[in-house]
A and B are shown apart, each in its own frame.
Chain A
Amino acid sequence: AQSVTQLDSQVPVFEEAPVELRCNYSSSVSVYLFWYVQYPNQGLQLLLKYLSGSTLVESINGFEAEFNKSQTSFHLRKPSVHISDTAEYFCAVSDANAGNNRKLIWGLGTSLAVNP
């Protein structure tokens, strides 16, 4: 069965520093990959997703993630973080050939804390 591992539960970083949040998934079958962000006491919202095509996907607020099929990874990066990026980040995967089993498989989340 598919599983998702977010390698860091907490990532502290200083403002304007670069950050990478790591995500690996277990199965190399055809997948769709997602990053969601959750600000404190709120629901989740989609940050970016990979469906097909270019392996590098970008969000409107400067985050990017690269799909690496050989390493079954989908790491999230930002070259310079802001205080407002402080949030919980979730990686999720779905099987592109799922048929009737269309659930998202979620990682446990990475808490990004941006300090001044």
Chain B
Amino acid sequence: DGGITQSPKYLFRKEGQNVTLSCEQNLNHDAMYWYRQDPGQGLRLIYYSQIVNDFQKGDIAEGYSVSREKKESFPLTVTSAQKNPTAFYLCASSPGGLPADTQYFGPGTRLTVL
């Protein structure tokens, strides 16, 4: 089955620790995205990548980092510089990153920082 996988589903970390969230897709999509979702705030774009080895900051990139070394993988690192990291994180992909493209979402990772 084609799709997007995110792991783990739930993640707990101590304050001050970096943590990396995994996102893998086997849809052969060029573009991938990371969103953060908080109650009542909708989806906010953290980073996006339209092609391998290239990525751009979204609206709330501070305290996060990404890499895109392979087409199918777009891991997100939440660093200790992110002041409020507890949130639901969603990864998505689309065929070409074009305005008309549908974005396909993974099941999400709920990160709790203690």
Contact = CB atoms under 8 A, between A and B. Distances in A.
Interface in A88-116: 90, 94-98, 102-104, 106-109
Given A90-B43, A96-B100, A98-B99, A103 B58 contact: yes
B80 interface: no
A102 B98 contact: yes
Interface residues of A, number: 25
A44 interface: yes
- Of the four ranges (under 10, 10 to 19, 20 to 34, 35 or more), the interface on chain B belongs to 20 to 34
Given A44-B105, A49-B102, A108-B40, A102 B97 contact: yes
Interface of A: 9, 32, 34, 36, 41-46, 49, 51, 90, 94-98, 102-104, 106-109
Given A46-B102, A49-B100, A103-B45, 17 more contacts: A36-B105, A43-B6, A43-B92, A43-B106, A43-B108, A44-B90, A44-B92, A44-B105, A95-B99, A97-B99, A98-B99, A102-B31, A102-B99, A102-B101, A106-B43, A107-B42, A109-B42
